[in-house]
Amino acid sequence: MRGILAAGAAAAVVLVSGGAADAAVYPKYKAPKTFGTTFQADPGHDFTKGIHSRHNGILRGQITHVRGGVAEYEPIKWKKGTRTEGRFVGPREGDVGAYASQIAKNVVFLSAYGCKATMSDLTVSRKTGLGAKRCSRAALIKRHGARPHPALITVHKGRIVKVQEIYTP
């Protein structure tokens, strides 16, 4: 009986420690408006010192390039349309406003379009319009490295720890 209890306790420790390893540990940051119409500021960021990480928090942005586990990303804003509802736009060409951060090994990627390359499965929360399906780090790099997608990008201690896609029809 003691052997069974000890084995059960050991299994519980493994499950708890394995779950904790998957969970990113960082404070809960205040999310910006999903369809905000202005670029988010990053007070104190010095763009003259080359491209580097944004301060801790959540940026409404898009990843523009991925190389060697480092993502370059930029802020985006919603621009209302005349014929359509609108679209997300980045800074004008020539404006300095890009960042670069390492993608955390345990990054949380919440997709609005499913994990497959076809992006045929809608996995968006109807309530928030944000991705709800957890996908792998590899899926994030493959999708966002190939083509920018609007997302809420959470940065903590110089690393991207969460990317939640914004659904746009």
Q: Model confidence over 20-67: pLDDT tens digits?
A: 333 457 899 999 999 999 999 888 888 888 889 999 999 999 999 999
**Measured between alpha carbons, how far is 1 from 39 in angstroms, rounded to an integer?**
62
Which residue, among 86, 143, 79, has the nearest Cα to 114 in the 3D structure?
Answer: 143
Which tokens belong to 141?
């790099």
pLDDT at position 137: 96
**Measured between alpha carbons, how far is 136 from 147 in angstroms, rounded to an integer?**
17
Q: Which residues pair with residue 89 across a beta bridge? A: 77
Q: Name the amino acid, one letter, at 13.
A: V
pLDDT at position 40: 93
Q: Is the pLDDT of residue 4 over 80?
A: no
Rg (CA), the chain: 19
Residues of the chain above pLDDT 90, percent: 57
Q: Is the pLDDT of residue 159 over 90?
A: yes
Pairing type for strands 77-80 and 86-89 reads antiparallel
- Residue 31: CB atoms within 10 A of its CB come to 15
Four-residue CA torsion sign, 128, 25, 62, 48: positive
Quick check: 64 and 74 in contact, CB under 8 A? yes
The pLDDT confidence band at residue 82, using thresholds 50, 70 and 90, is: confident
